Amino acid sequence: MEPGANAKTQGAQGAVLLLGGRSEIGLKVAERIAAGRTVVLAARRGGELGEEARSE
């Protein structure tokens, strides 16, 4: 991907790794980019990821 580009403008598909997945911001980012992609959330306390983070 070129600098300044984003997945939407490049038509990218595939997987996304999102660090900070427990935060409200992390979950909102995941919701926004999730369509058509595999999203992997990572958090320091991964066992505390809520059900909304585990849904498909």
Residue 8 counted as domain residue: no
Look up the pTM and report it. Answer: 0.44
Residue 31 counted as domain residue: yes
Range of the domain at 41: 13-51
Residue 1 counted as domain residue: no
Neighbours of 41 (CB within 10 A): 20
Q: What is the pLDDT at residue 34? A: 74
For the chain, where are the E strands, in sequence order?
14-19, 37-42
Q: Nearest Cα to 30, choosing from 13, 17, 43? A: 17
Q: What is the pLDDT at residue 4? A: 55
Residue 6 counted as domain residue: no
Residue 47 counted as domain residue: yes
Residue 27 counted as domain residue: yes
Q: Residue-wise pLDDT tens for the chain (56 aa)?
A: 455 555 554 555 677 777 776 677 877 877 787 777 777 777 777 676 666 555 55
Q: What is the pLDDT at residue 17? A: 76
Q: What is the pLDDT at residue 11? A: 56
Residue 21 counted as domain residue: yes
Domain count along the chain: 1
Residue 4 counted as domain residue: no
